[in-house]
Amino acid sequence: MFNAVIRATSSYVPENTVHNEELDQFPKTAQLLISQKTGVISRRHADAEQCTSDLAVIAARRCLERIDFSPGKVASIIVSTSSPDRIQPATAARLQYLLGAVNAFAFDINSVCSGSTFGIALANSLIRSGTCANVLFVAAELYSKILNPKDFATYPYFGDGSGAILFEAQEGERGVIGSILATDGSGNNTICVPGGGTMMPFEHLKDAKAAYFQMKGREVYDFAVAKGTEVIANLLENWHCHADAVKCFICHQANVNIIIKIAENLGIPEDRFYMNMFRYGNTASASVPIAFSEAMQKGLVRAGDLVVTAAFGGGLSWGANLIRL
């Protein structure tokens, strides 16, 4: 059986760095709380003329260029985003055009911050089923345009960016070994953008703020700690893998305190959890691919290593993947 083996990874974050002290719409005392609550010191914001697919194509090009892989050879493109270019068509369609991947079928998925784990599992399924010989998975998010700049519960904690992973069918023991995916739809209002869809069309908005991203912070924290711990523990148990065998745990980069608590609950040293939210903030579904690419480029993980990715987000949704590089 063919496995979905990672051939290359890459990431892109906009050049515009916004530090906590630049968020002068909030009091100085509030600015100090940002890093204390989440660890975020700065975040990247896209330029005014950039849209999500513009971020996606930079990460995608870098990924293919790393191994001199022609865009024309790409068989499939999956884009994970909860901040798409438009309601329709799929952001992946414009990415396919910009990239010049003329032979690829392309589509979007949206599991908010969990999109990375869902996308990795889906890429693995497409390859194992024989549907395609390779999959370019790209997660791209541009939250600076869907956040209320005056909302302290959301605006300071998110950033923009994109990450890409090229999977290719290969025989052997390397690749995506297994995944766990889950959803609890009873929490569909916990993390959401209320307005703009068919449930609340723009012309029916009574409050313009309903067009912005919203979340219930305390509920999200408790959910992420509980389900992040649970899904990693279940993943390791289901595939008979001891935590000590895993080289690196790459979790959704929402909050340093969430990751520290997950590590504590699992009894795993926190230094085996890669973290970069300090520099980029929460980049939603792009956070795991960005962190994954950084860990590989820094040599923290190498061929043959076991890696666990895990994420949690809107839906509510959560998931994890066990991967041998």
Domains within the chain, CATH numbers bracketed: 3-172 (3.40.47.10), 177-324 (3.40.47.10)
Q: Could you tell me if 321 and 121 are in contact, meaning their C-beta atoms sit under 8 angstroms apart? A: yes
Mean pLDDT of the 26-36 span: 91
d(CA 58, CA 158): 20
Q: Could you tell me if 111 and 166 are in contact, meaning their C-beta atoms sit under 8 angstroms apart? A: no
Q: Which pLDDT score is estimated for 202?
A: 86
Instruction: Dump pLDDT digits (tens) for 290-308.
Output: 999 999 999 999 999 999 9
Active site residues: 113, 252, 282
Q: Which pLDDT score is estimated for 83?
A: 98
How open is the CA angle 296-298-300, to the nearest 5 degrees? Answer: 65
pLDDT of residue 284 exceeding 90: yes
- Torsion (CA) 197, 85, 179, 250 in degrees, nearest 10: -120
Q: Enter the pTM of the model.
A: 0.96
Residue 98, token pair as written in the block: 């910009």
